[in-house]
A and B are shown apart, each in its own frame.
Chain A
Amino acid sequence: MIAEHWFWWLLCVACVAWYSTITVYVAVRGCFEIRKMLARLKEDQPADDTALR
C-alpha cells in the first residue's frame, strides 16, 4: 500500500516530522521575539499614553 501510494505516504510523514520540529523551534524563538517586541513598544508610547487606555 505504501509503495502504491508513496506520494501520500511521504507527504503524511513529512507533515508530521516538519510540524513537530517547527513547533518546538517556533516556541523557543518566538518567546525571545515577544520580549523584544514588547520592549520596543514600551519605548514607543505617546506622551499622554495613560489617557488612551
Chain B
Amino acid sequence: MTHFNWWIDGSIIGLYLVATMVAGIMVRKYVGKVEHFLVAGREVDVYLGIASLAATEFGVVTCMYTAENGYRYGFAGATPGILMALAMCFVGVTGFCIDPLRQAGVMTIPELFEKRFGPRVRWAAGVVIVLGGLLNMGVFLRITGEFLVLVGGFDLSQMERNLLLMMTVLLLLGTIYTVVGGMLSVLVTDFLQFIVMSAGLLAVTALILMKIGWAPLAATVARQQGEGGFNPFLCQGMGWQYVLFNAIECMAGAITWQTTISRLLASKDARTGRRIYTRTSFFFACRFVLPGIWGIAALAVLTPGAFAGLPANFQEQNTSLYAMPLFLSQFVPVGLMGLLLAAMLAADMSTTSSYMITWASVIYNDVLAPLRKTPWSERRGLFWNRVIVSLIGGFLLFYGLWYPLKGDVYAYLLVTGTIYMASISTMLVACCYWKRANNWGATAAIVAGAVIPIACLVFEQLHAMTSQQVQLWRCYSGIGAFVATAVAMVVFSLLKPHADPPARADSEQVDGN
C-alpha cells in the first residue's frame, strides 16, 4: 500500500514539471549556433557546472543501483562511489588529461583524436562512444519507469502497460526541451533539477536516519552480511576483482565519460573545468552513500513477503533491485512522497536530457559531419542535431522495452561503459602524454576495447549463468578489456614504421597544440 496521494503529492510533482518545462523551453531563444546547442557557447561557470554535473550523474537508475548495492552488499556497496570521488578529485587537482582536452578547444574527445590519429580514427572513436553510450543508457528509461510505478502505487497487475505509459511520458518530457534548447536548456533545467533532487534525497535520508537510526542500520548489515558488509574485499559478490575493475573504470570514466567531459568542454576555460571536477568530487561518494542508506533501510524493514505483490516476471529476476522502491512506497509519508517523486523525476529528466544531447553531439560532430565534404550551415546543423536527439529518444523507448536485463544493473552499466571507456581512455592518455602513439595503435585499441565487452554481453545472453557468475564474469572481462586495449595501443604503435609521412604530419600538428 503506497502513501502516494494524488492531490497533495500530485500537485507538488505538477508544480515541478511546469517550472522545469517552462525554464527549459524559454531559453531556446538564446540558441543561435550549433556551438550554443552542443556546448552552451562554452560559457559555463563553476557552480552551474557543479549543479549540472551532479544532476546529470544522478538519475533514478543511479538511485536504484546504488540502493541495490546497499541492499546486497551493505555499506561496502558504496565503494564505487568512494573510488569515483577519489578519481574525480585526482583529475581535478592535477588536470590529468582534462587540461590538454579543454585547451584543445574541441567539442568532443574524438575531435581531439583527429588531430593526432587522423580522421578515420576520429570517426571510429565516435562510433564506439555512441555504441557504448547508447547501450549504457538503454536501460535507464525502463528502470526509472519501474521505480515510479512501484513507488507511485500504480496497478502492478498491469505492470507492462503502466511501464510503457510511464516510459513514454518521461521520454517526452525530457526530449521536448532538449530538442528545442539543446545543452543550454539542459544546463538551466539541470540547475533546477539539482535543487529539487537534492532536497528530496536529503529529506528522505534524514527521515530514515531519524526514524530507524544509524545503529540499527549498521546492526542489520552486520547480521545479514557480516564483516563483508563493511569491507568490500571480504564481501561476497564483490572482492578484489570488483574493487580493481571499479578503480580502473572510475579513473577512465573521470577522463572520458562523455556526459562528464561535456561539462568540462562547455566550461569557460580549463581552470573552471578543473574546479568543477574538484568541487563535485565528493558528490560521487554521496550518490552511493545516501541511496545506499535507503537500500540498507529496505533490508532492515522489508520482510521476504514484501516482494509477493510484484508481477511474476519481476520475481523471476533479481528482486533486490525493487527492494528500495517497495520500502519507500510504504515508508515515506504523504507530502514528502510528492517531493521524493519530484526529486526522482528531476534526477531522471536531467540525466536523460544530458545523455541525449551528449550522444547526439558525438553522432553529429564525429560520425556524420566528417562524412560531408562541405560543412552544414548553422541552421542545417541545428536541424540535424534536433533530429538526432529525437531518434535517440525513440531508441531508448524500444531498447528499454525489449532488452532483458540480467545480473545487477550496476554491473551491466560498467560493462557497456567499458565498450568505449577502455579504448577511449587509453587513446586519450596516449594522445596527451605519449609521443610514439599513432593511428595503428589507436585503431588496435578501439578494436580490442570494443570486442571484449560486446563478446561478454553476447556470451552472457547465450549461456545460463547465476547472478553471481555474471557479476564475476563482467569484472574479469572488464579488467581484460582495459589490459588488452593498453597492450594493443603500445604494441601496434611500436609496430608502425617510423617513416610514415602522413602520421608524422599529424603528430607534429598535435605537438603544436
Give bound CA distance, A7 to B134, whole Å.
37
Known contacts A11-B78, A15-B290, A19-B201; A29 and B41 CB within 8 A of each other: no
Residue B30 CB within 8 A of the other chain:
yes
Give bound CA distance, A53 to B454, whole Å.
40
Contact yes or no, A38 B218, CB < 8 A = no
Known contacts A16-B202, A16-B205, A19-B286; A29 and B47 CB within 8 A of each other: yes
Contact of B32 among A8, A26, A52 (CB under 8 A): A52
Give bound CA distance, A25 to B50, whole Å.
11
Residue B75 CB within 8 A of the other chain:
yes
Contact yes or no, A33 B195, CB < 8 A = no
B196-226 contacts to A, CB under 8 A, are: 198-199, 201-202, 205-206, 209, 214-215, 218-219, 222
Contact of B215 among A2, A7, A14, A45 (CB under 8 A): A2
Give the residues in chain B near A18, CB-CB below 8 Å.
282, 286
Give bound CA distance, A35 to B27, whole Å.
11
Residue B184 CB within 8 A of the other chain:
yes
A1-53 contacts to B, CB under 8 A, are: 1-2, 4-5, 7-9, 11-12, 14-16, 18-20, 22-23, 25-27, 29-31, 33-34, 36-38, 40-42, 44-46, 49, 51-53
Give bound CA distance, A37 to B194, whole Å.
18
Proximity bits, B19-46, A CB within 8 Å = 1, else 0: 0000000011111110010001101111
Number of A-B contacts (CB under 8 A): 124
B355-380 contacts to A, CB under 8 A, are: 378-379
Q: Give the distance to chain B from A28, nearest Cβ to Cβ, in Å.
A: 8
Known contacts A2-B215, A26-B51, A30-B51; A20 and B45 CB within 8 A of each other: no
Dominant SS at the A interface?
helix
B70-101 contacts to A, CB under 8 A, are: 75, 78, 82
Contact yes or no, A26 B285, CB < 8 A = no
Known contacts A37-B40, A41-B184; A22 and B50 CB within 8 A of each other: yes
Give bound CA distance, A45 to B32, whole Å.
6
Q: List 7 A-B contacts (CB under 8 A).
A: A1-B215, A16-B202, A16-B206, A27-B195, A30-B50, A37-B48, A46-B33
7 further interface pairs, Cβ-Cβ under 8 Å (given A1-B219, A2-B214, A52-B379):
A11-B82, A20-B202, A22-B279, A26-B54, A30-B191, A33-B47, A45-B32
Complex A-B, nearest 4 residue pairs according to Cβ-Cβ distance, in ascending order: A29-B47, A49-B32, A23-B198, A45-B32
Using a CB–CB cutoff of 8 Å, the interface residues on chain B facing chain A are: 27-33, 36, 40-41, 43-48, 50-51, 54, 75, 78, 82, 184, 187-188, 191, 194-195, 198-199, 201-202, 205-206, 209, 214-215, 218-219, 222, 230, 279, 282-283, 285-286, 289-290, 293, 378-379, 382
